[in-house]
Amino acid sequence: MPATSGMIGTYRRFYEDKADEGGQGGAEVWYHRTQNMVCVYVRGPGGAAYVRKDNPDEAFVWALFHPLRVTAGGESRDVPVGSLVILPPGDSTVALPEGGDVWVGFTSEARDLIDHCPNKEEYEPPVDNIAPIVAWPEPPDGYKLRVYNLDETKEHCYRHRTGMTRFQWPVGSKPRDATAMSPHHHEDFEQASLIHSGTQVHHMRRSWSRNANEWMPDEHMVLAAPSVAISKPPDIHTTQAVSTGGPVGLIDFFAPPRWDFSNVADLVVNAAEYPMPAEEPQSYARNTTVYAANDPRSGTERRR
């Protein structure tokens, strides 16, 4: 089906659906949106390509398993396996000279791409506790095609003016240790988890409010590659790799860039290329405390 709405998260298993559109050279293309992101999965034979015209901002290309030929910003580059690409605004072509697949991440500033998404109505009207996209400062050396070799760094967190990504490299091949999970929540931004290989279980939990009628059971969604899992604020979530015998992993994609990650020393690989704003962006978080504002225990929540 084009999209699965759980009680808490939303999901799409691309392997269950026909492609949303065809592309150049026999490419097949799938789309899924969040409020601020458009996730694109492309696969095809040698010579297949995804062509984008007049994109309004930058975009990510994750070249993890198949070599690419990328044209953007007035130049063309052969991109080897194990690379992260940032496309400048404007026209671009992402080609698969040897065939295979690739993920591309746009922001919803590309309004025309939203019409390609089967779940395009999901965020109409927009969700009020998700921070809007506000572009961070321009890179000092201007917009250009940027290619990063993932083998050259320990961390794999990158940002551009309107988006951020973080993922594991090299890709793992073992189930996740069930005693080392990472349940967490985000106050005012979404997380798109792009499952590129193996099988994962996406765990979701809705925090309890004072109103027990709003409580929901925990959600545990099994997703094989290629698929997406979307976590909305402030729901608690974590993803667990469960398959063995081959690569298993995912890509986390965010828009706008995360202030918290950006303030961790040496975490963002290309931080020097993309300056931070002078002040922390405004928070759009709702009051998500367990206790009502007039409950004396609410002070405990405020002090956390």
For 206-248, the pLDDT digits (tens) are 988 888 998 999 999 999 999 999 999 999 999 999 999 999 9
Give the CA dihedral 223, 225, 227, 232, nearest 10 degrees. Answer: 60
Contact 65, 170 (CB under 8 A): no
Please check the confidence at residue 187 and state whether its pLDDT lies above 50.
yes
Distance CA 280, CA 170 (A): 32
Q: Tens digit of pLDDT for each residue in 126-139?
A: 999 999 999 999 99
pTM: 0.93
Give residue-wise pLDDT tens across range 21-55.
999 999 999 999 999 999 999 999 999 999 999 99
CA-derived radius of gyration, the chain? 19
Largest CA distance in the chain: 65
Q: Which residues contact 214 (CB under 8 A, 6 or more apart)?
A: 206, 208
Mean pLDDT of 274-282: 97
pLDDT at 102: 98
The answer to whether 221 and 202 have CB atoms below 8 angstroms apart is yes
Question: Which pLDDT score, from 0 to 100, does residue 208 have?
Answer: 87
Predicted local confidence at residue 140, as pLDDT: 98
Residue 2 — pLDDT band, cuts 50, 70, 90? low
Instruction: Indicate if the pLDDT at residue 82 is higher than 60.
Output: yes
Compute the Cα dihedral for 255, 257, 260, 266 and give only its sign: positive
Question: CA-CA distance, 9 to 122, in Å (whole number)?
Answer: 12
What is the distance between the alpha carbons of residues 59 and 294, in angstroms, rounded to a whole number?
A: 45
| For residue 290, pLDDT beyond 60 | no
Q: Which residue from 93, 64, 62, 63 is spatially nearest to 76, judged by alpha carbons?
A: 93
Looking at the predicted structure, is the pLDDT value of residue 298 above 80? no
CA 64, 65, 70, 76 torsion-angle sign:
positive
Count how many residues are written for the chain: 304
pLDDT value of residue 209: 81
pLDDT at position 288 = 52
The CATH number given to 4-273 is 2.60.120.10
- Give residue limits of the domains in the chain: 4-273
- Taking the C-alpha atoms of residue 204 and residue 59, their distance in angstroms, rounded to an integer, is 28
- The per-residue pLDDT for range 137-175, each reduced to its tens digit, is 999 999 999 999 999 999 999 999 999 999 999 999 999
